[in-house]
Every structure is written in structure tokens, then in C-alpha cells.
Amino acid sequence: MLRVFFLLGCFLIIKTGLWSQVPGMYYCGQAEERTRRLQQHPELEEESKLANIFLDTYTKQLEESRGGGDELYIVPIVFHVIHNNGPENISDEQILDGLSILNRDFRKQNEDITDVVNEFAGITADINIEFRLATYDPNGECTKGINRIQSTLTNFGNEQMKSLIFWPRNKYLNVWICADASGAAGYTNMPGDVNSPWDAASDGIVIRADYVGSIGTSSITKSRTLTHEAGHWLNLHHCWGSSNTPELPGNCSTDDLVSDTPNTIGYYSCNLNGHSCGSPLDNVQNYMEYSFCTRMFTQGQRTRMRAAINSPIAQRNQLITQNNLINTGAINPSMCFVDFIVSKTAGCTGEEIQFTDESYHGVTGWVWNFGDGTTISGSDPVVYQNPVHIYSEPGTYTVTLTVSNSQGSLFIAKNNYIRIIGPDELDTPIIEGFESSWPANKWLLENQDGNYTWEVSPSAHYSGSKALKLRNFNNTAYDNSDALISTTIDMSGMDTVYLSYRWAYANKTEATDDRLRVSVSSDCGDHWSLKRNRRGLTNLPTAPGTASAFTPSGISQWSGETVVIDEPSMMTNMFRVKFEFLGRGGNNIFLDDINIESVGDGTSVMNFSRDMSFRVYPNPSRSDMVLEIDLAGHSPLRITLLNSIGQLCDIIADTKIPLENRFIIPAKPPGVYLLVIEHNGQRSSRRVIFE
């Protein structure tokens, strides 16, 4: 967002969506951060002044002596992702992409460096500073250099947010990633402005998550924000001076204290022919500009930054010592952690499953045992770090990974980790009320965040004494997915599938838009066909909204429906059903009475004697049901319907003569009933539901 500042005694910050449409447009809050700090602590102004004088003198001396030298300086860096389970919780891959771009730009390895205009092509600089992820935390424990903390302070990006986590500034460059960097794309403090020990706990870079890297939530045009802020952290001003307001004529009278960057008014756009302060040409492609075509530092900026990293101001020189680089693991990191993840823990025979190594640091060899008799090993990361494996037989598999380097090896085993299903594992009818052991072998779970997922609960039910519950009330993640998926059901030869279920849900008072999606698949889950998409704002709630965690008080707060699937392409032996809940900050949801019936040339039956089978559909129903029976012989048959407390409420048939194979069960008041069939001295029952 563009921040427009009006000087009315102090800076008034106004965010506007207009300027956010301009490619590459970003706004740095460094100047405002300095103003805020000195307004809150005016006693520090004199100390900042003296520190900046020292730095300027030191820089001039360095420039006169050796121009900053050629030694490679390494800076340990740590990223703190402050998030509230929203899009600001960016991936490790996006953070690493941002770090790669930062180092590319500082080492003049960016391909677009060749596009620098002739007037400045001869003074583009390799700063010879690299930023490397810390591999040890302040306590000497293994770390990947990326921390994640959940907090609503991500929406402010202020000093209070920084206080959630901070590693010593004389050992690490702290970078906080958040949803809103105090209204800017990013900000930091220049070293002379935070030299006081009082400032140590706030020294570092704050950056908006969608300005990190070039992938994920960011883009190529926003990817150099971290480069810009690291320039400030190493004592560079904007090219037009120390303010945050480019394109003002008065900027020609200010200077960035770098001799080879011409005075300029500063730019929001890429004007390669600008002479805003007369002659010479403006260095609009400089990383310390606001234009969207930045791609260089100058030799003068190189000297200034290398002076900053060598000076004692804000303890910058302690970062690059050999001892600190070893203690933080920025050099010679040891392998200290082994783990892996998979694209899915439940799959089908013949399906590709992606395995991803999450181990760190310095892994050079991998041994994978997939548990099905297949083991692969090698040192080529392209082949062995993140392999793909296909299981050919159904079963449950234990997977092990051994990682190694010259210093040793680490090992992890995940027991019964992969569940592979084959065709026609189940036959209809499937009657699921969650009363017995669960999920047994009928259902599989997919839990996106590893937290709460579907679980059997006695706290509520439509029928019986239990139902399935998903505790979503405290979940603030957007589109967090939890899925309940059946194994394969044999629908070969069927004409129609009746999928019925009941649910209970109440929105939070503020009416958030959770989703319940019901899908079916004919190919074991490779492709899903969405049949229902119930929304928290419209047709998902079954009870009034509440500010409390929802539990239905009775059957009146439940609803149900029957989904009819009759596409011929769905009638395979790889048929599956999925109930997926997408949490969007709403409330708890309950499921009960999932019934799957089918009708066709194949049989959807419940066998309870050798000479008879039967099926009933649709179930649940808002009208009459159909009972179909296959009979052998002329034995007596009695069909009755009992209510929920076992009382007789209807006699469907009571005869000793040869029967037709179809009966109508007349509609009843809403409720759960028991259909009882007695034949040849045997008795069987089926729960049926009228809505």
C-alpha cells in the first residue's frame, strides 16, 4: 500500500489502494520509524547524532584507505514469522526465495544487472556481503533459521510485535515477517539511530509477508523490498535523502551522503532519462529508490555498507567475527535434524506419492525405505532428496529415512505411516453412526494443519449416543481443510447411489463463511466431483448463531439430506466419498448417520440368511421409502417398523404366501426408526430415518 505523508506538524499516514496498482510499488517506513522513536525517546537524539557522526567519519576513512576491502563478510540471519494462521504465514520456500534474492542482489549476481544504463554501468558494485541462515539458536540448539509464532500482533508490525521474539542483535540479523509492517511494505533502523543498548531489542528488519521473495504471496516486482531494507540496516539512505517522500523539488537540496549517487528528487516510476536536479542523470535503477526497475548498488554505497558492518555502532562488527559465525552455525553447519513429509498419508495403488526431506543442515546422502520392500539410496539431491514412490499393493506401510554427511548420520522411522487402499474394499450398504470403534478401516482422515480434526464425540448426536465432531471454534486459519474420506466402495453394475447424512452447525455471531463440501470420486480420489457446497453464510447453519463454542442441544438443531449420484461414469469399484470442512474462523460442526445405499444390477444388500437379502432407499427420506427383498422359497415373512424407543408403529407385511420383492414404507413423522425383518426364524434390522 502506498503511504502518503502530509507534513502537518507530524506525519499523517494514509493508506490508499490506488498506488498499490503500480507494479513494484512499495513504501519503506524507515524515516517514520526514526521519527517515532525519537518522539517517544527524545533523550536518545543526541546519542544518535554522535553515532551517525562517528559512522560518517569512519566511512570516509575507509573510503580513503582501501575502499572497504574485498573480504567476504557473512551475516547470520534469522526470520521470525509472526502470523495469525492467515496468508501471512508464508512457506519456508518463499522465505528462502527472498533470502536468495537478497544475496543475489548484494553480490551483483542478478541477471538484469546488464540492463543498467551506461552512465552507471561502470560503478555497479558487488557488496561482498552474504546473509546466511543461522543453524544454531542463542542457546546453541539446532534451528532451521525460521521461527513461527501465532499472534494478532501480526496486523500491527510494531515494537510490541517485535518483543514476541528477538535474538541478540550482536549475533543475528532479526527479520520479522508479518501481515502489516506498521503500514509500510517494510522498515528498519539505520545503525546510528539504534546504537543505544535500549534499542538492542528492536534492531532488525520488519517486512510484510507479501513482499518477501518472488513466489507464493509475493511477486517479482515486489521481491527486492528486503534488499532495500537491508541497505538501510547497513546505513544507506534513500537516494533523495533521509525522508520517505520522493518527487519533492526540495529533495534536491538533501543528500544521501554517497558521492556517486547524484542528488535527485526520488522516483515512484522508472524514468531512465530523468535529470530531476539538473545534471547528471538520476540513478533511478538504484535499490534505494522507489522505482520498479531497481537492480544495482554503487561503489560508494558499497563502501558505506562495508564501513557499517565493520564499525562498533549498533554492534554490527560483532556479527561477522569468526567466533560468532561458528556459534550461530552460519559457517560449517552440522546436520542436526531429520524429518520428512509426504504429499498424502493415504493413497491408492498405482498412485504417485511425493516424499520430501525436511532434514537440516548439510545433508549429502539419503537412504529411503518405503516399507514395501523398496529401498533407494544415493547422494544426488535431484534423485534422492525428494523422491516419488508408487505402492502397488494395498496395506499400511512404515517408512524410514536415514540422512548423512561427513560428520555422521541421523535416522527416523514413521510407523504405519502410509495407508494404501486398493479397489472394492467396501460393499454397500454402509451404515455409519460412529457408535463403535472408529475410523476402523472404512474412513481415512486428511488433516491440513495437524491440529484438531474429525473425532468421535459423545457430546451430541442425532441418533444413537455418538457423532463425529470437528472442533473449529478456536481455529482462525483461513481455508484450513479437514477431510473425512471413505476407502473404495464397489459400485460396479450399480445404477444409482444414495448418499445420506446429517449435520449440525451454528455460525459464530459475526457470521463467518465456513464450508462443508461433499464430493465423490470414481478413480480412488485422483479426481473429485463436488456434489454439495454448503456455506456458513447461507445453507450450512442448522441453529442460530452463537458467540460460544457450538454443541447442538437436540435433534431440532440438526439437518439432513440425501445426495443422489446416477452418472454411469461413477459406477466403478474405486468409488469414494469425501466430506471436507474448510474452516474460515467459524464454529464447531457435527456429522452423524452417514448412509451409503446403491441400486442396480449389482447388489446393495445386507445378508442375514442364506435365502434372502434386502435393500431400503432412499434413507433418510422426506417421503415414502422403498424396501426391496430377494426371496428364496415361501417361508413366512414379517416386516415391522419400531419407533426410537422400541414401540411398534407400523406393520409393513405379515404373510405366508409368495411375495412380490418390493414394499412401500409409508412416510412417518421426522425421527429415527428401526425396520425389522423376520424370516426363516432369523431376524435382522436396519435403522431408517424420516426427515
How many CB atoms are located within 10 Å of the residue 408 CB?
9
Same domain, 435 and 306: no
- 412 vs 449, residue with greater confidence: 412
Per-residue model confidence as pLDDT tens digits over 396-444? 999 999 999 988 999 999 999 999 999 989 888 788 888 876 766 788 8
Above 90 in pLDDT, residue 19? Answer: no
Torsion of CA 89, 95, 96, 99, to 10 degrees: -170
Q: What is the DSSP string of 228-278?
A: HHHHHHTTPPBTTBSSS--S-GGGGG---S-TTS------SS--TT--TTS
Structural domain contains residue 87: yes
Query: Is a pLDDT exceeding 50 seen at residue 602?
Result: no
Q: At 675, is the pLDDT very low, low, confident or very high (cuts 50, 70, 90)? A: confident
Residue 195 has pLDDT above 60, yes or no: yes
Domain assignment of residue 332, yes or no:
no
User: Residue 550 to residues 281, 488, 523, 544: CA-CA distances in angstroms?
Assistant: 66, 32, 36, 10
Annotated active-site residue in 33, 63, 88, 229: 229
Residues 524, 624, single domain; the answer is no
Peptide bond into 280 cis (omega under 30): yes
pLDDT level of residue 603 (50, 70, 90 thresholds):
very low
Asked whether residue 400 falls in the same domain as residue 518, the answer is no
In terms of Cβ atoms closer than 10 Å to its own Cβ (0-12, 13-18, 19+), residue 129 is: buried
Same domain? For 615 and 657 the reply is: yes
pLDDT of res. 38: 66
| Residues 614 and 594 placed together within one structural domain of the fold | no
Distances from the Cα of 204 to the Cα of 23, 99, 141, 207, angstroms: 26, 15, 22, 10
Residue 301 confidence (pLDDT): 96
Rounded (10°) angle between helices 92-106 and 225-233: 60
Indicate the range of 63-67, 471-475, 612-616, 683-687 predicted with least confidence: 63-67
416 and 317 share a domain?
A: no
Domain count, the chain: 4
Is residue 483's pLDDT more than 70? Answer: yes
pLDDT in tens, 566-592: 899 999 999 999 999 998 888 999 999
Domain ends where: 583, 600, 617? 600
Q: 567 and 538, same structural domain?
A: yes
Cβ density class 629-638: b for 16+ within 10 Å, e for less: bebeeeeebe
User: What percentage of residues in the chain have a pLDDT greater than 70?
Assistant: 87
Answer for the pair 335, 363: CB distance below 8 angstroms, yes or no: yes
From 366, 386, 421, the end of a domain falls on 421
Q: Which of 264, 293, 327 finishes a domain? A: 327
Which has more confidence, 622 or 337? 337
Instruction: Choose among 594, 586, 475, 462: nearest CA to 535.
Output: 586
Task: Decide if 3 contacts 182 (C-beta within 8 A).
Answer: no
**What are phi and psi for residue 443, nearest 5 degrees?**
-125, 145
> CA separation (Å) from 208 to 261, 360, 537, 562?
28, 26, 30, 46
Burial class (CB in 10 A: 0-12, 13-18, 19+), 459: exposed
pLDDT tier at 5, thresholds 50, 70, 90: very low
In a domain, 298, yes or no: yes
Q: Calculate what percentage of the chain has a pLDDT beyond 90.
A: 60
Residue type, 491: M
Written as one string, the DSSP assignment of 609-628 is: ETTEEEEEESSSBSS-EEEE
Average pLDDT of the segment spanning 86-113:
96
Calculate mean pLDDT across residues 38-58.
80
What is the model's pLDDT at position 393? 95
Instruction: Looking at the structure, tell me whether residues 586 and 626 fall in a common domain.
Output: no
pLDDT in tens, 607-619: 333 345 677 888 8
The dihedrals phi and psi of 333, each to the nearest 5 degrees, come to -70, 145
Q: At residue 529, what are phi and psi to the nearest 5 degrees?
A: -110, 115
Same-domain pairing of 434 and 375: no
* pLDDT at residue 449, rounded to an integer: 64
- Quick: pLDDT tens for 536-556: 989 999 999 999 999 999 989
Q: 661 or 226, which is more confident?
A: 226
Evaluate if residue 57 carries a pLDDT over 80: yes
Q: Confidence class of residue 528 from pLDDT cuts 50, 70 and 90?
A: very high
**pLDDT of 1:** 29
Report the pLDDT averaged over residues 328-351: 92
CATH number assigned to the domain comprising residue 88: 3.40.390.10
Query: Please, what is the angle between helix 299-310 and helix 45-65, to 10°?
Result: 120
Please tell me whether residues 389 and 511 are part of one structural domain: no
Helix (H) or strand (E) holding 388: strand 388-390
Mean pLDDT of the 315-327 span: 97
Whether 335 maps to a domain, the answer reads no
Which three three-digit cell numbers place residue 68?
572497504
Provide the pairing of β-strand 375-378 with 346-348: unpaired
CA neighbor of 337 nearest in space, from 94, 148, 145, 175: 145
Q: How far apart are CA 691 and CA 670, in angstroms?
A: 4
Alpha carbon separation from 626 to 621, 658, 661, 665 (Å, rounded)? 10, 19, 10, 6
Domain span including residue 540: 430-600
Give pLDDT, residue 593: 87
CA distance 203 to 191: 8
pLDDT at 11 over 60: no
CA triple 565-568-571, angle to 5 deg: 75
AA identity, residue 98: G
Alpha-carbon gap, residue 227 to 99, rounded angstroms: 9
Asked whether residue 395 falls in the same domain as residue 498, the answer is: no
Mean pLDDT of the chain: 87
Q: What is the 8-class DSSP label of residue 650?
A: E
* Sole residue written with cell 562517528: 54
Q: pLDDT at position 435, please?
A: 83
Model confidence over 138-181: pLDDT tens digits?
Answer: 999 999 999 999 999 999 999 999 999 999 999 999 999 999 99
Distance between CA atoms of 157 and 207, rounded to whole angstroms?
8
Check: CB of residue 389 under 8 Å from CB of residue 369: no
**pLDDT over 50 at 508, yes or no:** yes
Query: What's residue 612's pLDDT?
Result: 52
pLDDT for res 26: 52
User: Is 46 among the catalytic positions?
Assistant: no
What is each CA distance from 416 to 196, 330, 372, 397, 403, in whole angstroms?
55, 37, 12, 5, 20
Collapsing DSSP states into helix, strand and coil, what is residue 215? coil
Nearest to 222 by CA among 294, 303, 301, 143: 294
CATH of the domain at 404: 2.60.40.10
**566 φψ region: left (φ > 0), alpha (ψ -120 to 50), beta (else):** alpha
Question: What pLDDT is attached to residue 633?
Answer: 54
Residue 659 has pLDDT above 60, yes or no: no
Query: Any idea what the CATH number is for the domain that residue 513 is in?
Result: 2.60.120.200
Least confident range from 29-33, 254-258, 641-645: namely: 29-33
Asked if the structure places residue 476 within a domain, the reply is yes
- H or E element at residue 35: helix 30-40
Instruction: Look at strands 467-470 and 455-457 and give their pairing.
Output: antiparallel
Residues 96 and 220 in one domain: yes
pLDDT at 529 over 60: yes
pLDDT of residue 622: 87
| 169 domain residue, yes or no | yes
- CA-derived radius of gyration, the chain: 33
Q: What is the pLDDT of residues 626-648, one digit of tens each?
A: 888 766 555 677 888 888 666 78
State mean pLDDT over 8-29.
Answer: 35
